[in-house]
Amino acid sequence: MRNGTVTTFILLGLTDDPRLQVLIFIFLFLTYTLSVTGNLTIITLTSVDSHLKTPMYFFLKNFSFLEIAFTSACIPRYMYSIAAGDKVITYNDCFIQVFFTDLCGVTEFFLLAAMSYDRYVAICKPLHYTTIMSTKVCQTLVISSWVSGLCIIVPPLSLGLTLKFCDSNRLDHFTCDAFPLVKISCSDTWLIEQTVIICAVLTLNITLTCVVLSYASIIKTILKFSSVQQRKKAFSTCSSHMIVVSITYGTCIFIYMNPTAKEQVTINKVVSLLISSVSPMLNPFIYTLRNNQVKKAFKDSIKRIVLLSSNKRK
């Protein structure tokens, strides 16, 4: 400690039990590997396959990149902490980690809202889909999602940089996070707590309103279809996105809109671990296993790789 504030933090993690730490490390290694591999596969397929050059897959590619960035901002550091037994993180590294995890997390909500708008246009305005969802519009929506995420996190992060830590530098978490930092601060934290809650509620309300309005119109339009086959096809194009939306919003509402979240650190640590490790791993499987075009593109890519390798051997 120096001049009434700390220069390093100690991340306590989930447990001190060596056996449980081994199990957690194996779990994180598997989920992180599957997450990065799955999302990189989607990025590669949507970049090289001509049949996946549509707005929906453009958003999916950007969402996969976001998932890789989000999970990479916290999981590798925790795995290193378990493997090396080094729980110390510097003040600067801690706030850099907060910046990237929060930026990716908030941007994800805005990107999900943009993806729901894309599905709305595809189903409710199919004849004008290509015109409305032009390349320029898609790029603007993605850039706007990142800018919105940045604008949301700047106020609480700026206030967080003014916090002082006098009595303790032990963070009861596996990663640097707002609530554990606030809990050990010796500054008046009322303003930053309210700012975090307002920013979280604002993000969830704005994006969730867009999602709900989009899907209300989608469901209304689908129910007007005379053919059962048309209805099934329309619902199948939205089902993957709806599952991801449900998982993302459900877990984050639990943490950030829970009035007693500050005190429920143990529960929040487990939920945060699931958000940062399991959710990014599930998303590629949710989108690929329920999407025939992606599955076909994957099979075609495997065939091309096998064909190239067999030609080289000859």
Cα–Cα distance, 281 to 33 (Å, whole number): 8
Which class for 9: exposed (0-12), middle (13-18), buried (19 or more C-beta within 10 A)? buried
* 20-52 pLDDT tens trace: 999 999 999 999 999 999 899 889 888 887 777
pLDDT at 201: 86
The residues, ordered by sequence, that sit 6+ positions from 44 with a Cβ below 8 Å of its Cβ are 301
pLDDT at 312: 63
Cα–Cα distance, 73 to 34 (Å, whole number): 16
CATH classification code of 8-302: 1.20.1070.10
At 262, the pLDDT band (50, 70, 90 cuts) reads very low
Cα–Cα distance, 218 to 233 (Å, whole number): 13
At 216, the pLDDT band (50, 70, 90 cuts) reads very high
The two tokens of residue 117 are 């708008």
Average pLDDT (124-152) is 93
Map out the domains of the chain as residue ranges: 8-302
User: Picking from 60-64, 171-175, 183-187, 240-244, which range would have the lowest pLDDT averaged per residue?
Assistant: 240-244
Choose between 167 and 96: higher pLDDT. Answer: 96
Give the length of the chain: 314
The residues, ordered by sequence, that sit 6+ positions from 75 with a Cβ below 8 Å of its Cβ are 28, 31, 32, 276, 277
Cα–Cα distance, 257 to 179 (Å, whole number): 12
At 93, the pLDDT band (50, 70, 90 cuts) reads very high
